[in-house]
Copies of this chain bind each other. A is one copy, B any other.
Amino acid sequence: METTPTSKRKPTIRDVAAAAGVSRGTVSRVINGGHWVSPDAKAAVDQAIKTTGYYANAAARSLATGRSNSVAFLLTEPQHLLFADPTFSLLLRGAAQELSQRHMTLVLLVAGTPEEHVNVAQYLGAGHVDGVLLISSHESDPLLESLIATGVPTVACGIPLGHASDMPTVSVDEIVSARTATRHLVERGNQRIGMITGPADTPGGRYRLVGFREELGDNFDPNLVEPGDYSMASGAAAMAALLERAPDIDAVFAASDSMAAGAVGVLRKAGKRIPEDVSVIGFDDSGLALTVEPPLTTMRQPFEQISSEMVGLLLHVIEGGTSKSVTLPTSLVVRDST
């Protein structure tokens, strides 16, 4: 302990007030924008803050104001899927950035196991955060109920199945996007088009399949549909199943880039050339798309915009504004896999 300048307890607003020769109230005013305080007083306080090394105590402030200036980024996936999906990372990065610009903090909450569910419910109930960014939600998720019950402001990414109108959402038009992807394959002349879907209890899992089916119309063959869970491994497994059931398959639409990447691996091992023998299109444009050989054609989701819109909406609701939902467009990115 050669250096012991940390010996004393942290300075409080009273210490600063004393040092500056003013009252607590004046110091508080300076901290919060400095309106209605004389230049002299402000200068003295600024100086005192510097010399004392003062930081406003977060807990005390929260207690007094009822605001915490932080929001939760809530993931409800089982752990092993969480970070496998680059989608989350993109949203996380975007949200963190957007929030930090507004001097708010992102608290990452993971509610994978039932045990964690109660932890999280407790945490949110304790008023630890001002709002919640709900990232992935499966149908009839119990957490959704308790979120609605506690009344904490929430914005969902994608429209939670069964709770379409319970909270503001930011989403892409799944059906239109899926139709665009499917049409792209049709226009390329593919005849036997398969699909690897996401879980049926997620909006992306359900509605991308709807779009796929709608676009194919009479050519839709339920035998060419295989479910996955968005992970690369599940994409590989699904592709293997499809290949076995329908060796003549000449194109596949995967509901995520990860699954598309898994599918590509299987196809290559099976001796198929991409796109000559089988075309592959993914969904997300998650950065992974470029690392696959060949680079994936995919439906680009505007993640930057999604996270920024989510934060914007959430803050608006927190401030007491009325809630509304936003739908953003996707775009087809053609690369070498089709």
Contact = CB atoms under 8 A, between A and B. Distances in A.
Interface in A1-34: 6, 10
B105 A107 contact: yes
A84 B287 contact: yes
A58 to B, nearest CB: 4
Interface residues of A, number: 50
A198 to B, nearest CB: 19
Given A58-B62, A58-B68, A107-B107, 10 more contacts: A6-B149, A55-B125, A57-B63, A59-B127, A73-B108, A83-B90, A92-B108, A105-B107, A106-B107, A265-B293
A97 interface: yes
Interface in A36-92: 55-60, 62-63, 68, 70, 73, 79, 82-84, 86, 89-90, 92
A244 to B, nearest CB: 22
Interface in A79-119: 79, 82-84, 86, 89-90, 92-93, 96-97, 100, 103, 105-110, 116, 119
Interface in A292-330: 293
Given A232-B291, A265-B293, A58 B126 contact: yes
A6 B151 contact: yes
Interface of A: 6, 10, 55-60, 62-63, 68, 70, 73, 79, 82-84, 86, 89-90, 92-93, 96-97, 100, 103, 105-110, 116, 119, 122-123, 125-128, 149-151, 232, 261, 265, 268, 287, 291, 293
Given A63-B57, A63-B63, A110-B100, A105 B128 contact: yes
Contacts of A126: 55-58
Contact of A127 (B57, B73, B116, B232): B57
B122 A96 contact: no
Copies in the complex: 2
B106 A93 contact: no
Contacts of A96: 108, 110
A58 B63 CA distance: 9
Contacts of A62: 58-59, 62
Nearest to A122: B55
A261 to B, nearest CB: 7
